[in-house]
Amino acid sequence: MIYLDNAATTRVRPEVYDAMKPYFCENFGNPSSVYQFAGESLQAVDRAREQIAALLGAEAREIYFTAGGSESDNWALKAVAETCAKKGKHIITSKIEHHAILHTCEWLEKQGCEVTYLDVDENGLVSPEAVEAAIRPDTILISIMTANNEIGTVEPISEIGAIAHRHGILFHTDAVQAVGHIPLDVRAMNIDLLSASGHKFHGPKGVGILYCRRGVKLTPLIHGGAQERNRRAGTHNVPGIVGMGKAAELAGEHLEEWGQCQASLRDHLIERVLAEIPYVRLNGDPQKRLPGNANFCFRYVEGESLLIMLDQRGICGSSGSACTSGSLDPSHVLLAIGLPHEIAHGSLRLTLSEDTTREEIDYVVDELKKIIERLRSMSPLYEDFLRKNA
Ligand SMILES: *Cc1c(COP(=O)(O)O)cnc(C)c1O
């Protein structure tokens, strides 16, 4: 099997799994209990909080554990809408955000908020000038993702954060695709709130964090016990939290090395595909992109058929995001960068990890060439196109 869908989820690293293991059958205590046996669980949670804070340039007490990226996104937006209701009801975001942001914004609109969904350019970049132009006296929050999960574009979030702060507006970023993959520093980048998820960088599924800068008011999304400084109720997912902490520590140690090796393989993949397959387009910014992301549109090819044929050869890829597959609508991200429906339908996202090898990439390109040729040979549209251009 060749796994090139690391934007959907990643393999738990063996070191992460080893770190988690004692917290199932041995140190199973509830970190909120008072006896010494449970103290080990509490220490483990605090250690993980420090490991994650260190990766982000944050303080440990600014990190709140959640059940994943979607919860963190919901929490950030809903809490700011609540705490800033007196100041205003206007939120600025982009058209290419993850559904955890877009659907939360749609829900908030039903509660009376107003949301501006900014356009992006043909590479998926949000313009800081457009953000500034959208600001109104009643704007309470700007939420722009750090890096896009489909096309890999890395947004100018430091600049956007600086604009937000100049206008006294809170800045949230969905950094689920970025944390553990590219360097981040919440202070230097003017970030007030940040969402991250364990399973996108070799931690376990079902655990995430919301970073909330000290001094920013955060009301609970989940009500109940006093966990997480009274802000997020629920018994801690101790093994999950330990795993996410270990994954953060490993990512911090290897960020540059893993990033460079992925970026060079990604460039090799992109170069070969663009050189060897006709009528193909690279989606996303050629430079400002995640080290492990490649996203293409092949004309006269249906994305779903392409995925099935890759799967038959043991290759796991994606047509966009895991959340949109199963629906026949083309990706909202590809439409937002200006692609017509028929081209957006022929998309393929291949996302690498630090374990990906050059041999795997070469095998995938060789197979891809054959599959695209096969699929096109069965397409009446492609025949028409060839005839017209003969
Ligand atoms: C995966 C993802 C999420 C959701 O995270 P979960 O932990 O799966 O809930 C949110 N935003 C982006 C950009 C993602 O890639």
Q: What is the DSSP letter of 153?
A: B
Which atom of ligand 1 is least distant from the CA of 323? 1
* 261 carries an active-site annotation: no
**Going by CA atoms, what residue is nearest to atom 14 of ligand 1?**
176
Tell me what pLDDT residue 19 has: 98
State pLDDT tens for residues 219-269.
999 999 999 999 999 999 999 999 999 999 999 999 999 999 999 999 999
- Identify the segments of the chain with pLDDT beneath 70: 320-328
Are the C-beta atoms of residues 14 and 230 closer than 8 Å to each other? Answer: no
Q: Which atom of ligand 1 is nearest to the CA of 145?
A: 13
> Who contacts 15 (Cβ-Cβ below 8 Å, separation ≥6)?
246, 250
Record the pTM: 0.97
Residue partners of 135: CB distance under 8 A and separation at least 6: 92, 142, 163, 167, 169
Indicate the angle between helix axes 36-56 and 238-276, nearest 10 degrees.
30
DSSP 8-state code for residue 213:
-
pLDDT tens digits for range 7-66: 999 999 999 999 999 999 999 999 999 999 999 999 999 999 999 999 999 999 999 999
Helical ranges in the chain per DSSP H:
14-20, 22-25, 36-56, 69-83, 99-110, 128-134, 157-166, 227-230, 238-276, 303-312, 332-336, 341-344, 358-377, 380-388
Q: In this structure, which residue's CA is closest to atom 3 in ligand 1?
A: 69
Name the amino acid, one letter, at 362: D
Task: Name every protein residue with a CB atom under 6 angstroms from any ligand 1 atom.
Answer: 68-70, 73, 98, 100, 145, 149, 174, 176-177, 197, 200, 208
Cα 64 to ligand 1 centre (Å): 16
pLDDT at 324: 47
CA–centroid distance, residue 389 to ligand 1 (Å): 43
